[in-house]
């Protein structure tokens, strides 16, 4: 039995039996499908095309009958054509930047904001947060859901919130130190950057900085990155997951056991499908993550394809929760690089780099096509110590990285070791790839 079992915000729902959970999900799914069919013409047309009516959906077992939704739907029916509520009932618009010039936007009713706040309260509680903690939010506060999600969760717990938003690293650290901040919420890449800067300033975690935990998400990160962040900041670093289209951060979260992210299954149903065929896959098998919201009223999403690659398990966690857990995201079907016919995910490269002494967790992948052949360059930032080391040692590290990349990924890459601080930093989501084939 885990000593962390008390760190549960809503034991009634987070620890209910699988049979109880499936019964609850089925009731809520039936209600949501009916709401969607009656209020969203686009989805009604898709169901009609498949010869499906709401009466055909009686339980979670029937979920596979429903058509998928995609991110392109949010662009094609921008801004309000996917609403299942009246515009007068929408109290919040959240969104993300769009690659075609228009953002992805989602409408939230008062109910949706309340559900989201509860999911984030569960998330922060699982990381050890209580009303006695001080939570610094270094996600952007704006259309992006990260900042508001963390703020709402901490507020729901009654904790003191420091809504710093992103940027201004020196001021972030000053407030962290002066206010005695105990929990940090930001992207993992920014957490690492804050940790590096804290050490460069001569501050000592545990003495000058009093953080005990952090909830980090919005971009993929590896177990090796977690180890580094925990060492830099002296904290427990917990992974969190969310999407604007579903409910922002808090859809899934790690407890302090750190064996996968608990999915808030009383609010969303998770599936894993074969990304090529769309067929459901069993627990434990890796594939594309699909979510169906079952308590969202403003803009429900039915079988929404996230394009994130992971696996699911329903084994009970030592923390006491019975919620299904999703593994760490290993890549994305749409961000996956195909280089010389080989599927390459940036997270594979990061695993190699973060586990290598002498290099920092900052890198850039540059993909190009030369003489009709794909090329991959991996720019890796050296630490200050490595930068001033002997040529022979630098060459040995260079060879080690190149060999490891070929072993892990299956293709050769040009490795370029660059000077400290030369890879662009990000206070939001880290940009890891430049694909010149698309330029």
Q: What is the pLDDT of residue 437?
A: 82
335: helix, coil or strand? coil
Sign of CA dihedral 225, 229, 232, 237: negative
d(CA 407, CA 226): 23
The position carrying tokens 């209020």 is 39
Give Cα separations from 360 to 198, 309, 417, 421 (angstroms): 15, 26, 10, 9
Q: What is the pLDDT of residue 279?
A: 97
pLDDT digits over 238-293, tens only? 999 999 999 999 999 999 999 999 999 999 999 999 998 999 999 999 999 999 99
Which comes out higher in pLDDT, residue 43 or 188?
43
The position carrying tokens 């995609």 is 70
Q: Report CA 334 to chain centroid distance, whole Å.
A: 15
Which of 408, 352, 409 has its CA nearest to residue 380?
Answer: 352
The pLDDT mean for the chain works out to: 92
Q: Is the pLDDT of residue 122 over 80?
A: yes
Do residues 136 and 172 lie in contact, with contact meaning Cβ atoms separated by under 8 Å? yes
Q: What is the pTM of this model?
A: 0.81
Q: Is the pLDDT of residue 111 over 70?
A: yes
Q: Is the pLDDT of residue 103 over 80?
A: no
Q: What is the pLDDT of residue 94?
A: 94
Q: What is the pLDDT of residue 76?
A: 92
Question: Rg (Cα) of the chain, in Å, rounded?
Answer: 22
Domains of the chain (ranges, CATH numbers): 1-332 (3.40.50.12780), 337-438 (3.30.300.30)
Question: β-strand 213-216 against 183-186: which pairing, if any?
Answer: parallel
pLDDT digits over 178-235, tens only? 999 999 999 888 999 899 999 999 999 999 999 999 999 988 788 888 999 999 999 9
Q: Which of the four pLDDT bands, split at 50, 70 and 90, describes residue 4? A: low
d(CA 68, CA 75): 15
Q: Which of the four pLDDT bands, split at 50, 70 and 90, describes residue 439? A: low
Which comes out higher in pLDDT, residue 129 or 190?
129
Give the H or E element holding residue 388.
none
pLDDT digits over 316-361, tens only? 999 999 999 999 988 777 767 878 777 787 878 888 888 798 898 7
pLDDT digits over 382-432, tens only? 998 888 888 898 999 999 999 999 998 888 999 999 999 898 876 666 778
Do residues 424 and 431 lie in contact, with contact meaning Cβ atoms separated by under 8 Å? yes
| The pair of three-digit structure tokens given for residue 333, joined into one six-digit string | 């079907």
Alpha helix segments (H runs only) across 211-341: 223-233
Q: Is the pLDDT of residue 170 over 70?
A: yes
Identify the burial level of 286 via C-beta atoms within 10 angstroms of its C-beta, where 0-12 means exposed, 13-18 middle and 19 or more buried: middle
Do residues 122 and 135 lie in contact, with contact meaning Cβ atoms separated by under 8 Å? no
Contacts of 24 (CB under 8 A, 6+ apart): 16, 266
Contacts of 98 (CB under 8 A, 6+ apart): 75, 104
Q: Is the pLDDT of residue 1 over 70?
A: no
Q: What is the pLDDT of residue 428?
A: 62
Q: What is the pLDDT of residue 438?
A: 66
Q: Which of the four pLDDT bands, split at 50, 70 and 90, describes residue 99? A: very low
């Amino acid at each position: 039995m885990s000593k962390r079992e008390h760190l549960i915000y809503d034991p009634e729902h987070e620890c209910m039996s699988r049979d109880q959970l499936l019964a609850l999900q089925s009731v809520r799914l039936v209600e949501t499908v009916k709401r969607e069919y009656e209020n969203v013409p686009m989805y009604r047309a898709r169901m009609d095309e498949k010869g499906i009516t709401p009466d055909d959906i009686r339980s979670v077992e029937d979920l596979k009958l429903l058509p998928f939704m995609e991110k392109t739907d949010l662009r094609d029916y921008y801004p309000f054509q996917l609403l299942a509520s009246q515009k007068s009932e929408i109290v919040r618009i959240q969104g993300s930047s769009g690659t075609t010039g228009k953002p992805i936007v989602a409408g939230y009713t008062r109910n949706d904001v309340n559900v989201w706040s509860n999911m984030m309260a569960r998330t922060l509680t699982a990381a050890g947060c209580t009303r006695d903690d001080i939570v610094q939010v270094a996600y952007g506060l704006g259309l992006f859901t990260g900042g508001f999600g963390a703020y709402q969760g901490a507020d729901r717990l009654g904790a003191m919130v420091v809504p710093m938003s992103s940027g201004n690293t020196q001021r972030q650290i000053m407030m962290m130190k002066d206010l005695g901040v105990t929990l940090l919420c930001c992207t993992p890449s920014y957490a690492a950057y804050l940790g590096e800067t804290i050490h460069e300033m001569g501050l000592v975690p545990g003495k000058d900085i009093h953080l005990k935990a952090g909830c980090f998400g919005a971009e993929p990160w590896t177990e090796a990155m977690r180890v580094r962040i925990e060492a830099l900041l002296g904290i427990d670093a917990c992974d969190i997951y969310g999407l604007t289209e579903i409910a922002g951060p808090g859809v899934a979260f790690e407890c302090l056991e750190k064996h996968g992210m608990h999915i808030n299954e009383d609010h969303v149903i998770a599936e894993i499908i074969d990304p090529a065929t769309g067929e459901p896959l069993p627990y434990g098998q890796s594939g594309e993550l699909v979510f169906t919201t079952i308590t969202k009223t403003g803009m429900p999403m039915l079988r929404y394809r996230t394009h994130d690659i992971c696996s699911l398990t329903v084994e009970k966690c030592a923390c006491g929760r019975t919620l299904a857990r999703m593994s760490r995201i290993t890549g994305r079907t749409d961000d996956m690089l195909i280089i010389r016919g080989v599927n390459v995910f940036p997270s594979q490269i990061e695993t190699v780099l973060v586990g290598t002494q002498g290099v920092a967790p900052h890198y850039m992948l540059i993909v190009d096509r030369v003489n009709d052949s794909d090329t991959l360059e991996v720019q890796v930032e050296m630490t200050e110590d490595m930068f001033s080391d002997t040529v022979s040692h630098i060459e040995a590290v260079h060879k080690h990285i190149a060999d490891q990349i070929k072993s892990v990924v299956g293709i050769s890459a040009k490795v370029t070791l660059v000077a400290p601080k030369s890879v662009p930093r990000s206070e939001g989501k880290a940009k890891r790839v430049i694909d010149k084939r698309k330029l």
